Chain A
Amino acid sequence: MTSSRKILAIATAAVCAVGLAAAPARAQEDPVKIGFLATMSGPPGIIGKHLYDGFMLAINQAKAEAGGRPIEVIAVDDELKPDLAVAKAQELIERDEVDFVAGIVFSNILMAVFRPITESETFLIGGNAGTSTVAGRRCSPYFFSTSYQNDQVHAVMGKYAEDQGYKKVVLLAPNYQAGRDSVAGFNSEYTGNVVDTIYVPLNTLDFSAELARIASAEPDALFTFMPGGMGVALVKQFRQAGLADKVVFLSTFTVDEATMMATKDDALGLYGSAQWAANLPAEGNAEFVSSFKETYGYQPALYAAQGFDMGLLILSAINAVDGDLSDKAAVRKAIAAADFKSIRGDFKFNTNQFPIQDFYLTQAVKTEDGDYVMNAVETVFEDAADSYASECKM
Chain B
Amino acid sequence: MDTTLLLVQLLNGLQLGVLLFLVAAGLTLVFGIMDFINLAHGVQYMVGAYLGVVFLALTGSFLLTIPLVLVGSFLIAVVLEHLVFRKLYRASHLSQVLATVGVLLFITELVEIIFGPQLYQIPIPAFLDGAVPLTDTLQYPVYRLVVIGLGLMLAVALWLAVSKTRLGALVRAGATDAEMVSALGVDVERLFLFVFAFGGMLAGFAGLVAAPIVAVEAHMGNQVLILCFVVIVIGGIGSIEGAFLGALIVALVDTLGRTFTTDIMKLLVDPSAATTIGPALASMLIYLLMAVVLFFKPRGLYPAKA
Enumerate chain A interface residues (CB-CB to B < 8 A): 40-43, 45-46, 49, 175, 197-201, 203, 205-206, 208-210, 212-213, 215-216, 218, 228-229, 232-233, 236-237, 240-242, 246, 258-259, 261-264
Contact = CB atoms under 8 A, between A and B. Distances in A.
Contacts of B275: 197, 199
A208 B144 CA distance: 10
Interface string B260-295: 001000000000000100111011000000000000
A30 to B, nearest CB: 34
A49 B117 contact: yes
A378 B121 CA distance: 30
B213 A206 contact: yes
B214 A241 contact: no
B12 A209 contact: yes
Interface string B112-155: 10000111110110000001000001111101100000000000
Contacts of B297: none
B214 A229 contact: yes
B137 A213 contact: no
Nearest to A205: B214
Nearest to B279: A199
B215 interface: yes
B219 A43 contact: yes
B137 A216 contact: yes
Contact of A236 (B12, B112, B213, B282): B213
A198 B274 CA distance: 11
5 contacts: A199-B278, A201-B279, A206-B214, A209-B13, A229-B220
A209 B258 contact: yes
A212 B279 CA distance: 16
Nearest to B133: A242
Contacts of A241: 131, 139-141
B235 to A, nearest CB: 20
B99 interface: no
A210 B254 CA distance: 12
B218 interface: yes
Given A199-B279, A240-B141, A262-B120, A208 B215 contact: no
A192 B30 CA distance: 54
A197 B279 CA distance: 10
A232 B220 CA distance: 13
B111 to A, nearest CB: 12
**Most central of B13, B15, B112, B121 by chain A CB within 10 Å:** B121
Nearest to B6: A212
B176 interface: no
Contacts of A45: 117
B300 to A, nearest CB: 25
B28 interface: no
Contact of A175 (B2, B16, B279): B279
A213 B15 CA distance: 17
B108 to A, nearest CB: 9
B124 A240 contact: yes
B139 A205 contact: no
B259 interface: yes
Contact of A212 (B12, B121, B218): B12
Contacts of A261: 118-120
Q: Report the 9 A-B pairs with minimum CB-CB distance, sorted nearest first.
A: A232-B215, A262-B119, A45-B117, A199-B279, A208-B12, A262-B121, A229-B215, A205-B214, A212-B8
B211 to A, nearest CB: 10
A237 B213 contact: yes
Nearest to A237: B213
Interface string B157-196: 0000000000000000000000000000000000000000
B258 A210 contact: yes
A80 to B, nearest CB: 12
**Most central of A206, A241, A259, A262 by chain B CB within 10 Å:** A206
B217 interface: yes
Nearest to A240: B141
A209 B255 contact: yes
Contacts of B117: 40-43, 45-46, 49
**Most central of B119, B120, B143, B217 by chain A CB within 10 Å:** B119
A215 B7 CA distance: 13
Contact of A206 (B2, B16, B120, B219): B16
Contact of B215 (A42, A233, A242): A233
